[in-house]
A and B are shown apart, each in its own frame.
Chain A
Amino acid sequence: MASPEGAAAAKVKLRPRKKKKSKKESKTRSVYANILGEEDDNNPNRHYADNKIKTTKYTVLSFLPKNLFEQFHRFANVYFVFIALLNFVPVVNAFQPELALAPVVFILSVTAIKDLWEDYRRHRSDKEINHMDCLVYSRTERRYVEKFWKEVHVGDFIRLRCNEILPADVLLLSSSDPDRLCHIETATLDGETNLKQRQVVRSFFDLDCDFDPSKYNSVIECEKPNNDLNRFRGYIIHRSGRRDALYKDNLLLRGCTIRNTEEAVGIVIYAGHETKAMLNNNGPRYKRSKLERQMNVDVFWCVIILLVMCSFAAVGHGLWMFQYGDKRPVFDVLSPEGTDLSPVLSAIYLFLTMIIVFQVLIPISLFVSIEIVKICQVYFIHQDAELYDEESDSHLQCRALNITEDLGQMQYIFSDKTGTLTDNKMVFRRCTVAGVEYSHDANARRLAMYQEMDSEEEECPSRGGTLPRRDSVGSHHSVKVVLRSHSTKSHRRTGSRAEAKRASILSKHTAFSSPMEKDITPDPQLMDKVNECGSQMDFMRFHSQPMSQLPSDLGDIMDFFIALTLCNTVVVSSPDQPRHKVRMRFELKSPVKTIEDFIKRFTPSRLTSGSNSSSSSSLATNRSSTKGCSSTLSSPSAESVNADGGAEHPNAAATCQPSSANHIAVFLPVPFCRACFQGNSKGKRQKKIIYRTQNYLNQYAADGLRTLCIAKKVLSKEEYACWLQRHLEAETAIQGREELLFESALRLETNLQLLGATGIEDRLQDGVPETIDALRKAGLQIWVLTGDKQETAVNIAYACKLLDPEEEILTLNADSMEACSLLLEESLHYIQAKFLCGSAKAFHADFAPFHIYPSSPPPPPHWSSSHAAVHRLGLVIDGRTLAYALDRSLEDKFLAVARSCRSVLCCRSTPLQKSMVVKLVRNKLKVMTLAIGDGANDVSMIQVADVGVGISGQEGMQAVMASDFALPRFRNLQKLLLVHGHWCYSRLANMILYFFYKNAMFVALIFWYQFYCGFSGSAMIDQWYLIFFNLMFSAFPQLITGTLDKDVSAQTLQQLPQLYINGQNSEEYKPYMFWMNMIDAFYQSLVCFFIPYFAYADSDVDLFTWGTPVTTIAVFTILLHLGVETKTWTWMNWLSICFSVALFFTVALCYNASCPTCYSPSNPYWTMQRLLQDPTFYLLCLITPAAALLPRYFYRACQGTIFPSPVQVGRQLDRLPAKDPHGNILSLSGIQTGARPDPERKSSVAKDPRRPREESQRPDASLSVRIDLPAEGGVKYTKNSQERLSVG
């Protein structure tokens, strides 16, 4: 269900009433039950917002003033209204005042209608939401009655049934679930479709009978409404005085859907606009694109030109007046009072008049046109079939409507790794237990089969091998081992592609992501061990022997699997429950049984979810302790599934209390850290295990696998009780709970016994290396910022061609600021020494066009700094070093190093560091940055970058929600940037330039005329044409061209990524181009003015009979100018131009025939009709546009031949027969390098200069600068915590 609130994105306003609340309530909110019997006006909850939402901006009365007020925030609107109002002043007016208002009113009303419509939609959706039903406990009727959502108040008891949507933020007090759980789906909040568990408040946990609201008499103290979805703190005070802590796990958020739970009862804590969902509803973001910033500069120049022209005319008028002296000419008109106006005064009046007359120079329709064009561009990007991902049935979403052209100007890409470059489908590959590696070769083979599956459309044969074996395992156990995995089976692929697709779509709604993740072929060796283990246990159980007698290696395997099992979320549900989502059904009857199941369960768990899990919420511990942890190893039939939060929290600890021993085992999946284990490594065996496991871990990392260690710790009951006590304290703390929990986790995570480790593969997405290669050819710098381990990250970087094996790698690992500084210095020197000596010249010849500052002029030949060039170097830096490097004192050095490198890889970086890196590059290098990521840890980076791209992948929607564009796959970035970005940029840039030209050209006509009318502000162009010129006659073709024009075909753009450099260097719209266009505009207007001038000189032509041809010619010239600039002519271009011409003549004819006296002062009655009978008119219309456009056309024709821009070359390529485009490209680039004289242009399209020209130029030895300082315990923990913060 789509979020109703989401659709009604609007500013949330808290009721002003709230402010009246007394001071003591300012920190927390107390919620009493409404049934306590307080009268309405005495109800303690009466100050809180009710559940009625109103997201509309306007009411019927306030619409007009409010909307106008908002619109006048835009400076341009104020300007145009000011000019229109100026027309009402008789001394300075130039047009009919009412007419002058027309365009402004038109623009304003278009916007107002749009706003009104949006607001109406919001109103309708509000109404719909407000009138949804829910069950509220009624005090008078002593039962639950149906009420509208809007009638729900804070303190009400609400009964929720399965699949109902929550009307407000509700504290869960009762659930029909035997475990006192309530499952909710939060898709409307964060897009995640996996179910989340919520718990009944602990004090109501043991309630046997149904919850009775009339007996409730506690008070809830909680924090004020805030927008943090992942936080809720408070406590509940019972009449007995007992306090119980409240967590976010007790809170059901508005907008979520109840799943898998028959019934739940809760009390409303926050309602209406104070709910977290509503507080999270921010309006769309407004970003201003680079092009628009540039445009604003030129708008400013237009204002200057306007003022200069007006001043010129004013001075001219003053002088003109002055020359007559006291003798007033007959045609001079005295002021209305009959007195003479002094030349100075009339000059001042004239200045204002001229501003009105020349107002067209600041194009009123420019902003509107740009918005229309951008919306159309967004539509086309949206519609692109190539940006559609069938697997996930998602396509590109443009969330920011006004920065499409920025896509064409990107210079730096900051990418997340997990889920962005990789699939984020965790596929189990191998594991090591107690120092023995189980390589799972069969599984690897099976995975390989999967990859071929789609092409071959054949069933994977290895599955045949897995099933019987699985059965054999099952039959081996005496306990009833039933794997009721029929939903798994239903997912199983039968080979057909359609079914695979369906399965993958289906899997979106279930716990698993793909069949690849679910089907595991166990390693035979491990299988044997497990079977042995099972039989041993059967034996022992039979003989009532304690578990501890298990051989140590088997024991380790046992513990290993128990840990994996416990530390993961298992949701149990059954298909016969009505309207439930189909879920994998899964019951764990025995720890041994879990051996196989864990693998299945284990793989999909998001071990590396980037969520900030430093709290390492030991909920599992918690729960197991409160439940008394009934799972024992000696009684395998008991339910042992009590692990929670494993999916969200990689560090979640699970404890298990063997009843037969006085010890509690704590199982922990932990990132490998020697310190955690060292204390316990007294035993030789354990040392060996640690040693071996570390070796394997390194090997896994080298293979690009993600690693996770499994460890256990045995605590005595006293130790456990002591720890639990402090942990509970930490949990109930309202202030600093996170830190306390973290400390609590640290206390536990010492002296662990290492059990083993797993290696999970996160495969690269399709086409990632190709995309990276293309983007790099396009001149984009790609930095990868990941929370992953350095080894893993480097491996993935190699796999996706980010790093080249032939490339040198600078690795920066430092433990202190000084070391980092030293390291950076060294690297800088190294770079300078390496790349400046000897081959300096060669390098600079090659790399000259690839400056870090693309806007800077090309360097002189004696350029001696290394800063400008990008070398064949890779930089790898880890999070800790990055933290030092990002320090204010070192950031410049860091940047100097980083920007000399071809690729930069930041490992172990926290979300904050990611955004800091982006910010640093963006602000210091003044480049356009794009951040792409898929997880919550990328959100800050996405928000900071100029363009944020979210991958709508596996990790929920936070990244997408924060992004400007959401892509299904990383691969789509190539087309988005290289094709759509390029198009959008070049279209808009050309359109804006054309706009400036068009208006300048039109206005200049009137300016020239001032020389012939005594600078009196008189216009030979009729006021109607003048005012509607922008709005009607020249509006459509440019919109069509701005939307549809393709300078180069999509195919060529993708084949020649180098063309993207065009946009990076802003080559379509450079500052000088504005002036070139202005000069051209003035030239053309001179032609359009003086050809009619001389043609009608010495004739009895009257003002408007002469002015109308000038207008007509100007319209023709302007339209044809667009024609010269249009690269592709579709029928829509033809149509729009014909339409514009037809519109002009129709309007002119109708206008000139409609009313003989209405249009004072011009009154152009029958002018156009008469002109159409005049041959001179036609002759003028032929010669003038030709003369006006000849230079531009000639320039374009010659430029295309003598010095074609890369884009023009690309366009030429489009026209080549498609038989061998690649060969053509090659031949073309060869020719270009030879033929073109300009070295700067040469290399931008031709060969990619960064590709090594000569192998011998590159140094053969690989460099690795590395400082590994000895680790200390404390530091390790920091590292550890960092891992928690930023894994993935």
Chain B
Amino acid sequence: MVKEENESPNRPDNTAFTQQRLPAWQPMLSAGIVIPGFVLIGLAFIGIGVALLITSRNIQVLELDYTGTEQNSPCFQCSDPDQQDCVCTLQFSINSLFEGPVFFYYGLSNYFQNYRRYGVSRDDGQLYGDLSYFKEPYDQCEPYRFDRNKRPIVPCGSVANCIAVYTFRLFQIVNGQQKEVPLDGKGIAWWTDYNIKFRNPTVTPLRNAFNSTAKPLFWPRPAYELDPSDPANNGFINQDFLVWMRRAALPDFRKLYRRITEGDYANGLPAGNYSLEIAYNYPVLSFSGRKMVVFSNVSWMGGKNEFLGIAYLVIGTLCVVMSVVMLIVYAKFKFPEED
């Protein structure tokens, strides 16, 4: 009988690859590897979790709701949608030094900036300062593309249209006197937004570029007059505008309003009483939203958020628990491999 001779085949290449004999690592889920591995990972996670938690605990946050739905709220009067140019003042006190730099956010809840049709309703070409889009805005901007007189709206679209233009003034009450806390409005938007993504048309003066265009319906002032105090902060590179145009991910969001970095407050807000003057001009009751302001300082990992630390702790603990469970399992069903 002819014996098999497989060692020297003519046709198939006898390589590790073609014969599927590539050296391979087999991650065997066995006790020897899994249990120490789990313990190690668990301990590492617990370590990270503790560090995160401590960091997060050190961050101070002050949230002030001024929606004005409650009777006793100072802004109760202003929450009436019919009220125009209402100003309300919020009093609060800080017990200990609020370490700087302090970030001053405004918050909105139940506001769906991530609503799809809202989100697509913008014209990036226009915002890039491209004048051709001034005449013919992107059609996704409908119905905020042309006004009734068929003039193109600049900036067009829903996102720009319903910008929340806030005016907050913060005062520290020192001996009964109101001492205004300087608010730094520079650099609150992304650097790339300010310098690259958004541009004003290279027309001087800026307002000429906006000839024969209309301002968005909800806007009190045209784009080139957004900040009367700082001519460089107008048009599409207005910091507040930039912040608003970066759509929030979730319906409850906050956006950076100002930073407190100057003067006496460079080290933070000292303990004491403060009053916040709010130009209440954005009705939120129609969508049962809430408005708030938030003072917060930040750490290396961003704002206050205990969740991540807790998550690490939980997962780390789970890993350790699982390794214990597995230890018991292995003890019970001893596998012949360990013989």
Residues of A within 8 A of B (CB): 90, 94, 324, 327-338, 353, 380, 382-388, 390-391, 393, 395, 451, 454-455, 763, 766-767, 971, 983, 1012-1014, 1016-1018, 1020, 1044, 1046, 1050, 1091, 1093-1107, 1123, 1126-1132, 1156-1157, 1160-1161, 1163, 1165-1166, 1170, 1174-1176, 1179-1180, 1182-1183, 1186-1187, 1190, 1193-1194, 1196-1198, 1200-1202, 1211-1212, 1214-1216, 1227-1228, 1231, 1235
Known: A329-B286, A1091-B311, A1186-B315. A1161 touches B322 (CB 8 A): no
Q: Is the CB of B335 within 8 A of A380?
A: no
How many whole Å from B298's CB to the nearest CB in chain A? 10
Point out the residues of chain A lying under 8 angstroms from B90, CB to CB: none
Q: Is the CB of A1099 within 8 A of B303?
A: yes
Point out the residues of chain A lying under 8 angstroms from B305, CB to CB: 1094-1099, 1176
The answer to the question of B71 belonging to the interface, with a C-beta cut-off of 8 Å to chain A, is no
Q: Tell me the bound Cα distance from A171 to B253 in angstroms.
A: 89
Q: Tell me the bound Cα distance from A332 to B110 in angstroms.
A: 12
The answer to the question of B125 belonging to the interface, with a C-beta cut-off of 8 Å to chain A, is yes
Q: Is the CB of B329 within 8 A of A1163?
A: no
Q: Is the CB of A1157 within 8 A of B197?
A: yes
The answer to the question of B192 belonging to the interface, with a C-beta cut-off of 8 Å to chain A, is yes
Point out the residues of chain B lying under 8 angstroms from A337, CB to CB: 143
Within 8 A of A (CB), among B220-266: 243, 246-256
Q: Is the CB of B315 within 8 A of A1012?
A: no
Q: Is the CB of B26 within 8 A of A1215?
A: yes
Point out the residues of chain B lying under 8 angstroms from A1093, CB to CB: 250
How many whole Å from A1244's CB to the nearest CB in chain B? 18
**Which of B134-142, B166-174, B178-186 forms contacts with chain A?**
B134-142
The 0/1 profile, CB within 8 Å of A marked 1, for residues 66-110 of chain B is 000000000000000000000000000000000000000100000
Choice from B19, B27, B336 contacting A1129 with Cβ under 8 Å: B27
Q: Tell me the bound Cα distance from A1094 to B312 in angstroms.
A: 13
14 contacts between A and B (CB under 8 A): A330-B286, A383-B19, A384-B12, A388-B9, A388-B12, A455-B3, A1013-B115, A1094-B305, A1104-B249, A1107-B249, A1170-B192, A1197-B34, A1214-B26, A1231-B336
The answer to the question of B211 belonging to the interface, with a C-beta cut-off of 8 Å to chain A, is no
| Extra inter-chain contacts (5) besides given A1102-B249, A1107-B249, A1161-B122, CB under 8 Å | A1097-B250, A1098-B294, A1186-B45, A1200-B30, A1215-B28
Q: Tell me the bound Cα distance from A330 to B287 in angstroms.
A: 8
How many whole Å from A1184's CB to the nearest CB in chain B? 9
Choice from B12, B113, B130, B307 contacting A383 with Cβ under 8 Å: B12
Q: Which residue of A lies closest to B159 (CB)?
A: A331
Q: Is the CB of B11 within 8 A of A380?
A: no
Q: Is the CB of A393 within 8 A of B116?
A: no
Point out the residues of chain A lying under 8 angstroms from B19, CB to CB: 383-385
Q: Tell me the bound Cα distance from A368 to B14 in angstroms.
A: 29
Q: Is the CB of A1156 within 8 A of B197?
A: yes
The answer to the question of B318 belonging to the interface, with a C-beta cut-off of 8 Å to chain A, is yes
Point out the residues of chain A lying under 8 angstroms from B10, CB to CB: 388, 390, 393
Q: Tell me the bound Cα distance from A1182 to B308 in angstroms.
A: 11
Point out the residues of chain B lying under 8 angstroms from A1175, CB to CB: 300-302
Chain B contributes a number of interface residues (CB within 8 A of A) equal to 100
Point out the residues of chain B lying under 8 angstroms from A385, CB to CB: 6, 9, 12, 14, 18-19
Choice from B24, B52, B158 contacting A331 with Cβ under 8 Å: B158
Q: Tell me the bound Cα distance from A1179 to B246 in angstroms.
A: 24
Point out the residues of chain A lying under 8 angstroms from B28, CB to CB: 1200, 1211-1212, 1215
Which of the listed residues A1128, A1130, A1180, A1201 has the most CB atoms from chain B within 10 Å of its own CB? Answer: A1201
Q: Tell me the bound Cα distance from A1045 to B11 in angstroms.
A: 24
Q: Is the CB of A1017 within 8 A of B116?
A: yes
Known: A338-B143, A1044-B22, A1129-B26. A1099 touches B302 (CB 8 A): yes
How many whole Å from B192's CB to the nearest CB in chain A? 4
Q: Is the CB of B249 within 8 A of A1106?
A: yes
Q: Is the CB of A390 within 8 A of B112?
A: no
Known: A395-B9, A1102-B246, A1175-B301. A1014 touches B311 (CB 8 A): no
Choice from A390, A766, A1106, A1161 contacting B119 with Cβ under 8 Å: A1161
Choice from A94, A393, A1157, A1174 contacting B128 with Cβ under 8 Å: A1157
Point out the residues of chain A lying under 8 angstroms from B20, CB to CB: 380, 384, 983, 1044, 1046, 1050
Which of the listed residues B13, B29, B122 has the most CB atoms from chain A within 10 Å of its own CB? Answer: B29
Q: Is the CB of B254 within 8 A of A1098?
A: yes
Q: Is the CB of A332 within 8 A of B322?
A: no
Known: A383-B19, A1131-B22, A1160-B140. A1018 touches B303 (CB 8 A): no
The answer to the question of B190 belonging to the interface, with a C-beta cut-off of 8 Å to chain A, is yes
Known: A1161-B120, A1197-B34. A1170 touches B190 (CB 8 A): yes
Q: Which residue of A lies closest to B310 (CB)?
A: A1094
Known: A1013-B112, A1176-B302, A1196-B29. A382 touches B12 (CB 8 A): yes
Within 8 A of A (CB), among B303-337: 303-305, 307-308, 311-312, 315, 318-319, 322, 325-326, 329-330, 333, 335-337
Q: Is the CB of B335 within 8 A of A1212?
A: yes
Q: Tell me the bound Cα distance from A1078 to B210 in angstroms.
A: 54
Q: Tell me the bound Cα distance from A920 to B2 in angstroms.
A: 37
Q: Is the CB of B301 within 8 A of A1176?
A: yes
How many whole Å from A1032's CB to the nearest CB in chain B? 25
Point out the residues of chain A lying under 8 angstroms from B23, CB to CB: 1130-1131
Q: Is the CB of B24 within 8 A of A1016?
A: no
How many whole Å from A1168's CB to the nearest CB in chain B? 12
Q: Is the CB of A454 within 8 A of B12?
A: no
Q: Is the CB of A1201 within 8 A of B333?
A: yes
Point out the residues of chain B lying under 8 angstroms from A454, CB to CB: 1-3
The answer to the question of B121 belonging to the interface, with a C-beta cut-off of 8 Å to chain A, is yes
Q: Which residue of B lies closest to A1214 (CB)?
A: B26
Q: Tell me the bound Cα distance from A71 to B255 in angstroms.
A: 50
Point out the residues of chain B lying under 8 angstroms from A1231, CB to CB: 336
The answer to the question of B41 belonging to the interface, with a C-beta cut-off of 8 Å to chain A, is yes
Point out the residues of chain A lying under 8 angstroms from B192, CB to CB: 1156, 1165-1166, 1170
How many whole Å from B280's CB to the nearest CB in chain A? 15
Q: Is the CB of B117 within 8 A of A333?
A: yes
Q: Tell me the bound Cα distance from A1093 to B105 in angstroms.
A: 19
Point out the residues of chain A lying under 8 angstroms from B119, CB to CB: 1018, 1103, 1161
Within 8 A of A (CB), among B142-187: 142-144, 158, 162
Q: Is the CB of A1187 within 8 A of B112?
A: no
Point out the residues of chain A lying under 8 angstroms from B286, CB to CB: 324, 327-330
How many whole Å from B6's CB to the nearest CB in chain A? 5
Q: Is the CB of A1202 within 8 A of B143?
A: no
Choice from B5, B48, B158, B315 contacting A1187 with Cβ under 8 Å: B315
How many whole Å from B159's CB to the nearest CB in chain A? 9
Point out the residues of chain B lying under 8 angstroms from A1180, CB to CB: 308
Choice from A1020, A1183, A1197 contacting B311 with Cβ under 8 Å: A1183
Known: A1044-B22, A1194-B322. A1098 touches B2 (CB 8 A): no
Point out the residues of chain B lying under 8 angstroms from A1101, CB to CB: 248-250, 253
- 3 smallest beta-carbon distances between A and B, as pairs: A336-B142, A1128-B24, A1106-B249
How many whole Å from B317's CB to the nearest CB in chain A? 12
Point out the residues of chain B lying under 8 angstroms from A353, CB to CB: 116
Q: Tell me the bound Cα distance from A596 to B122 in angstroms.
A: 99
Q: Which residue of B lies closest to A388 (CB)?
A: B9
The answer to the question of B124 belonging to the interface, with a C-beta cut-off of 8 Å to chain A, is yes
Q: Which residue of B lies closest to A1128 (CB)?
A: B24
Which of the listed residues B130, B303, B329, B336 has the most CB atoms from chain A within 10 Å of its own CB? Answer: B336
Which of the listed residues B10, B120, B138 has the most CB atoms from chain A within 10 Å of its own CB? Answer: B120
Known: A90-B139, A1129-B26. A1179 touches B336 (CB 8 A): no
Choice from A333, A1131, A1202 contacting B118 with Cβ under 8 Å: A333
Choice from A329, A387, A1016, A1095 contacting B307 with Cβ under 8 Å: A1095
Q: Tell me the bound Cα distance from A983 to B3 in angstroms.
A: 27
Point out the residues of chain A lying under 8 angstroms from B248, CB to CB: 1100-1103
Q: Is the CB of B25 within 8 A of A1014?
A: no
